[in-house]
Each structure stands twice: as structure tokens, then as C-alpha cells.
Amino acid sequence: MTEIDMTVLDGWTKGRFTAAGVTHDTYRRGTGPGVVIVHEIPGITPRVAQFANEVVDAGFTVVMPSLVGTPAKGPSGPYIAQSMAKVCVSREFTHWALNQTSPVIGFLRALARSLHLEVGGPGVGAIGMCFSGGFALGMMVDDIMVAPVLSQPSMPFAVGAGRGADLNLSPDDRLAVARRASEGCQVLGLRFTGDRAVGTRFESLRELLGDAFIAVELPSSKPTDHSVLTEQRDEASVHRVIEFLQSKLHP
């Protein structure tokens, strides 16, 4: 599927948000506590929108920033390569560097704070996938982030043992995240066990977060298994994410 199907964004309100010198389009829908959903490569695909609609239907105000790609366009080989190229040249993301927090995290933290200020509730949730999979971890520096979800975190690119273990956090942010975990903030992580893009990050997450890390690890049925919540969707995992959000944001 490569065509653009805007019907998947029916009911979503398009806007723009600027913070930390960065501006991106956003899509918003729903009522209730806030959840920021950050798409995977190549962008807000129909299946990303499908998942986001389910989060909305579970009782949340969802905001999706569009970081790369064309919203509502289905994935294809050339489109994936095009979006990946944009990620690789953008200064918003740390693709190779170790022990650094991607600059885009500042934008996402501000977006989450703005959403929480408007809709209230006990806090905010965030879901990252693929290249954005670890972004919710960086957003956890703020105390309002009470439901971070990391699906197949894949940045920095897992080339070599060091990058494959890196959590895309600066030393200061790493300390802040560890503190939040010690205070009881849980982190939900999901991956297919054969997904090489994730590297050994789940081991790093266990080391950093201890018992606060909840790992959902699915056996791979084929080498291309990657997108737990979308393209290779696992129904039980989708329900697990929604249950996690409800337990933290609808206590």
C-alpha cells in the first residue's frame, strides 16, 4: 500500500506546535488524559493511525506529531528509504552518537507539558516506536510523564555493541530517568526477540530501571518482524499498552 488515504485521519484536528526552535505539524483527537504518540518510519501510516484511534477510543486525548513522512501514506520500500534518509540528515535526531539525548526530545517534552496543562489528569503518557521508540524514555525526565511506552526502540542505529546497547540518553538525563524509576515510575517496553534493530537495549533498560521496567518480548516468526503495534501488529500487545495507559492515567 503506497497511496495516501486521508480517511484514516477522519476526526483528527491538524495543528502546529513549536518548541525548542522546532516546529512540526500535529494531529489531535479525543478527550481525557493526554498521550503523545510518536510514529515510526516512514511516518503516520494508516496502521499507526489505526493504533492511535484505539488509544483515543480507550479514553485519551492523543496528539501525534508528524516528524517525517506524509501523514496517511502507506509504507513501501522507496517511501521507507526516503523517510530514513530524512532522519539520517536531520539534526533533531542522534543517529550514531552514544550517550546523547536526541534534540527532538526537547520538543516532545514541551508538547507533553502543553497537553497536560490543557487537559489535566494525573500525568501524561507517551508511546514511541522504532526510531522514536526510546523517545518516551527521554521524556520521562519530566515528572508529568507517568506512562512511558517504548516499542522496538531502535536509535541510535544498532551498528556495533556500543550503539546496540545505548539508550539515547545523556548522562544527566540517565540519572534523572533512574531517579524516576526508583520513585516508582514504570516503563513498558515491547519488542520481537529477533529484531536486530533493537540491539541489546532491553538488557540496558533492565540495568537502568530495575523492577520498574516491564518487558513484553515476543518470539519472532520471521526475520522482518519489527513493528509490534502496527505493521506486524500483535493484538495482545496492543491491549497491554492500553491497559498500561489506563492503569497510570485512569487510576
pLDDT in tens, 120-136: 999 999 999 999 999 99
* pLDDT surpassing 90 at residue 13: yes
| Average pLDDT rounded to a whole number, residues 158-172 | 92
| Gyration radius of the chain's alpha carbons | 16
Which strands make up the sheet holding 22-29, listed edge to edge? 13-19, 22-29, 61-66, 34-38, 124-129, 145-151, 187-192, 213-218
* β-pair type (213-218, 145-151): unpaired
Residue 95's pLDDT is what? 64
* pLDDT surpassing 70 at residue 143: yes
Residue boundaries of the structural domains of the chain: 6-249
Spatial neighbors of 81 by CB under 8 A, at least 6 apart, are none
Paired residues of 35 in beta bridges: 62, 125
Paired residues of 167 in beta bridges: none
Question: Could you tell me the three cell numbers for 86?
Answer: 530524512
- Is 0.75 surpassed by the pTM of this model? yes
- Longest pairwise C-alpha distance within the chain: 46
* pLDDT surpassing 80 at residue 2: no
| Average pLDDT rounded to a whole number, residues 81-104 | 86
Residue 156's pLDDT is what? 87
Residue 94's pLDDT is what? 77
Look at the domain 6-249 and name its fold: Rossmann fold (3.40.50)
* β-pair type (187-192, 213-218): parallel
Does residue 188 sit in helix, strand or coil?
strand
* pLDDT surpassing 90 at residue 187: yes
The packing angle between helices 235-249 and 46-57, to 10°, is 40
Residue 153's pLDDT is what? 97
Give the confidence band of 1 by pLDDT, cuts at 50, 70, 90.
very low
Question: Could you tell me the three cell numbers for 66?
Answer: 508528524
Range with the poorest average pLDDT among 70-74, 93-97, 134-138: 93-97
Range with the poorest average pLDDT among 56-70, 132-146, 158-172: 158-172
Residue 238 identity (one-letter amino acid): V
In percent, the amount of the chain with pLDDT more than 70 equals 98
* pLDDT surpassing 80 at residue 178: yes
In percent, the amount of the chain with pLDDT more than 90 equals 86
